[in-house]
Amino acid sequence: MTNAAIAPERAARLIHVLFFLQLVSMGAMEMSGPFWPLHLKELSASEFEFAFAGVAVYVGPMLGIMLTSAFWGRVGDRTGHKLMMIRALIGLSLTQLALAWANDVWTILALRFVQGACAGYIAPAQTYGVGIVSPARRARLFAYLQVSTNLGSLAGAVSGGLILDHATFFWINIVAAVLCMVCAGAAAMMLPNVLASKPAHVAPSEPMKTDDEGTQPLWRSSPIPGLLGVVGILLVSRMLTQTPFSLYVGSRFNVGNWTVGLCYGMLSLGFIVSASLWARYFEHRMLADSLRRMTFIALGCAMLTLAAAFTHHIAVFIAIHFAWGVLLGATTPVLMSLISKTAGSVRQGYVLGVAQSTTQFASIVGIALGGWLSDGVGLRYTYFYVAVSYSLAMVGILLLRREGWRHRTSMGFNGPVGE
């Protein structure tokens, strides 16, 4: 294995490789994403089965990732995160291949759960990237990789639609399987092995409190739980619109599917445009300063979604979604870089695995809660729920800021985020 200290020029090239691998592999997964309901409707024996499968086919992989990310992170901390990336890509390829031949609803749902449990590519990719870039550039790294995911999502959905227009759903899964296997081969050949950084020597006269892994406790006297909570609430806020979105836009504005898709894509476009700029803006700021500015980001999201709840003009709604996406570029990448910085170098895989589990759990909660509120309380109130959720996120950030000075003292977090 090579040492974790890699020349900046080579590290930049490797990050571009990670960007390409994530774009292709996540795009391959999104090729089938929008079209599972169409496929499942053909296979379902009843309306109940179809309704259940239509949700479970998306929640299943999230649940698998949520339950296994921390475990794979621990394994990666011991064996190297390149191996975990290759494992995840091979898992994606094999399960996509199996899905191509699956003609039973329950087999498909089981395979989708296994896909999430065996794969989980994003967390080891992030952890590998953390190991080869300077701490000052972590926010940019997380933003860059999330831009890759968003670009892959857009390109994959379009590509999957083109395949489905000219072939069958079978070929979407076959093409996805081939692309993921090609990415696994590329990762094996193009990425060097990187050793995890070793903890600094601690003098006997200054004993370090340890947990079961021999590192400083991560969950006591640490901002990590609070940061994870904020990430979770922000993701719940974002995902509340996932289930009712097309119904809300279609019924409120009386527009066609093309316009609905345009509205949906504005979030990703805003994120793609802004994420790297936000990363540069935050990368040299201290924890307390970053949280203070994140409070205004959450407030901005709340105000935008409240405006979306009131508007009756589709052009205004589209513009609001783009602006909302711009603000979202300042949320998860920046908060993940704060979590990574606070965790130190020894247990990056484990901590980022826990963070990945948190994001998957929050996404599941957001999707389920959004569906339940739109059905039980009223579709027209959807964006009011989102605004309230962002207000709760703002309260969470304010509470975390109150603990900031204690955390800085106990964790030694008294320098910039980018140090």
CATH number at residue 272: 1.20.1250.20
Alpha-carbon torsion angle 34, 71, 238, 279, nearest 10: -110
Same domain, 332 and 233: yes
Q: Exposed, middle or buried, 141 (CB in 10 Å: 0-12/13-18/19+)?
A: buried
Same domain, 281 and 185: no
Pick the residue with more confidence: 418 or 117? 117
Report pLDDT digits (tens) over 260-299.
767 877 888 888 888 888 888 887 788 888 889 999 999 9
Domain boundary among 190, 211, 243: 190
> Do 249 and 381 fall into the same domain?
yes
Sign of CA dihedral 301, 337, 92, 236: negative
| pTM value > 0.85 | no
Give residue-wise pLDDT tens across range 213-244.
444 455 566 788 888 899 999 999 998 887 77
Do both 26 and 159 map to the same domain?
yes
Distance CA(164)–CA(166), nearest Å, equals 5
Residues of the domain holding 314: 224-410
Residues 147 and 56 in one domain: yes
- Between CA 119 and CA 296 the distance in angstroms is 35
Domain assignment present for 130:
yes
Q: In the structure, what pLDDT confidence band is assigned to residue 5 with cuts at 50, 70 and 90? A: low
Q: Is the pLDDT assigned to residue 36 strictly greater than 70? A: yes
Tell me the pLDDT band of 199, cut-offs 50, 70 and 90. very low
Quote the DSSP letter at residue 16.
H
Give the residue from 237, 375, 232, 236 showing the smallest Cα distance to 303: 237
Task: Evaluate if residue 342 carries a pLDDT over 70.
Answer: yes
Count of C-beta atoms within a 10 Å radius of residue 350: 25
Which of these, 400, 399, 332, lies nearest to 363 by C-alpha position? 332
**Residue 155 shares a structural domain with residue 238:** no
> How many whole angstroms separate alpha carbon 239 and alpha carbon 331?
14
- Residues 164, 31: Cα–Cα separation, whole Å: 10
Q: 117 pLDDT exceeds 80?
A: yes
Q: Considering its fold, how many domains does the chain have in total? A: 2
Q: How far apart are CA 239 and CA 78, in angstroms?
A: 34
pLDDT of 389 > 90? The answer is: yes
Does 265 lie in the same domain as 354?
yes
The Cα–Cα gap between 389 and 198 comes to: 40
Specify whether the CB–CB gap between 138 and 127 falls below 8 A.
no
> Distance between CA 83 and CA 21 in Å, rounded?
14
Beta-bridge partners for 2: 194
Is residue 39 pLDDT above 80, yes or no?
A: yes
pLDDT at residue 211 is higher than 80: no
Q: Within this chain, do residues 175 and 234 fall inside the same structural domain, yes or no? A: no
Cα–Cα distances (Å) from 334 to 223, 245, 274, in that order, read 14, 26, 12
Does residue 361 sit within a domain?
yes
Domain assignment present for residue 132? The answer is yes
